[in-house]
Amino acid sequence: MLDGTAKALIDPWLTRIGNRLAQLGITADGVTWSGFAIGVLAALAIAWQYYLTGLVLLLLSRLADGLDGAVARVTKKTDLGGYLDIVLDFAFYGLIPLGFVFADPAANALAGAALICSFYINGSSFLAYAIIAEKRGLDTSQRGAKSLYFTTGLAEATETLAVFAAFCIWPAHFAVIAWIFTAVCLYTAASRIVLAIRNFG
């Protein structure tokens, strides 16, 4: 829901940094893999209950997630780059809640499992819609130039990042926040299913 606003605010900065990285010979795929590696470190820090370290690392990871597209726009967009961006994003989204489950299984396991399940459902609703939209030759620029058809929703990257930050700042409240965001993700998936029924039915 907030991705459009966030994109307008940070895109000029990402473009400048992306131009500089491209000049240094750094590839978009390299930035994507680096961002994912930092995300893995964030999940490990969280699992060991170094929550503020995890917060810093996950923010750096998401910065890289924005920069890979900026570098690709300067150099060359590829189907592999778009594929890696999506796959590693979803891996990151699963790893952070899993880190909190490992940090405190007794308190966080059930809520963490529900949240990861909601990510799975929401992600499949997003990707399945993109596949059918591509099959029908549909195009959208709601979130800028993307490698696949992008449907907006209540739970997008900005909201997820805000929730992950809240987890790290208030780890004792992980379960409550996770249950609330699980409901938000399921609502987003349901809204995409309704949209698919209207547009593809």
70, two tokens: 């900026």
pLDDT band at 43 (very low <50, low <70, confident <90, very high): very high
Burial class (CB in 10 A: 0-12, 13-18, 19+), 42: buried
pLDDT band at 134 (very low <50, low <70, confident <90, very high): confident
Higher local confidence (pLDDT), 63 or 137? 63
pLDDT band at 77 (very low <50, low <70, confident <90, very high): confident
- Among 28-32, 99-103, 163-167, whose mean pLDDT is lowest? 28-32
Checking if the pLDDT of 147 tops 90, the result is no
Higher local confidence (pLDDT), 76 or 27? 27
Checking if the pLDDT of 140 tops 80, the result is no
For residue 58, give the amino acid letter: L
Segment (H or E) for 149: none
Contact 1, 159 (CB under 8 A): yes
Higher local confidence (pLDDT), 99 or 133? 99
Q: Which residue has the tokens 């208030």?
A: 170
Residues 12-37, mean pLDDT to the nearest whole number: 89
Higher local confidence (pLDDT), 136 or 47? 47
Q: Which residue has the tokens 């059918």?
A: 132
Domain boundaries, the chain: 3-200
Q: Residues 6 or more apart from 109 whose CB is under 8 A from it?
A: 101
| CATH of 3-200 given 3.10.580.10, 1.20.1250.20, 1.20.120.1760, 1.25.60.10 | 1.20.120.1760
At 89-124, the pLDDT tens digits run 999 999 999 999 999 999 999 999 999 999 999 999
Checking if the pLDDT of 41 tops 90, the result is yes
